[in-house]
Amino acid sequence: MCICGCSEILIECNHVGCPDSDRMLGELRAAIDTGTSDNAIFVAFQDKYGPTALASPMLTKFNIVAWVMPPALLILGLAGTFLLVKKWRLRTVAMPAVENDPASNDLRDRIRKETEV
């Protein structure tokens, strides 16, 4: 990527008289002509111009962790929430004993008859 601030790929920088693209293209062509490997060129450009000089970030241990951890934490959080809710649903609550009082039974029967639709 061109570092002049245009956010264009280096070879497509459309600024007239861009001070960075000609110099960077010269460095890139010189490195290619000497037979330097792609990874070595990427590392050299990243060290000299920063990670924004690369169109896509290099695959490093930190980048792998940065891509893997958010989905992994989301899945762990959902699984933990599921297990917690399942545990809560399995709890039983002790119900109070129902009195076998004839007056209460009559009252319940009357309530049932009045609320039937």
Question: What is the structure's pLDDT at 117?
Answer: 61
Query: What does each of the 117 residues of the chain score in pLDDT, given as a tens digit?
Result: 877 778 788 778 877 778 788 888 888 889 889 888 888 888 888 888 887 777 777 777 888 898 899 999 999 999 999 999 999 888 877 777 777 778 888 888 899 999 986
| Nearest by Cα to 7 from 57, 59, 53 | 53
Every domain of the chain and the residues it spans:
10-53, 61-115
pTM value is: 0.47
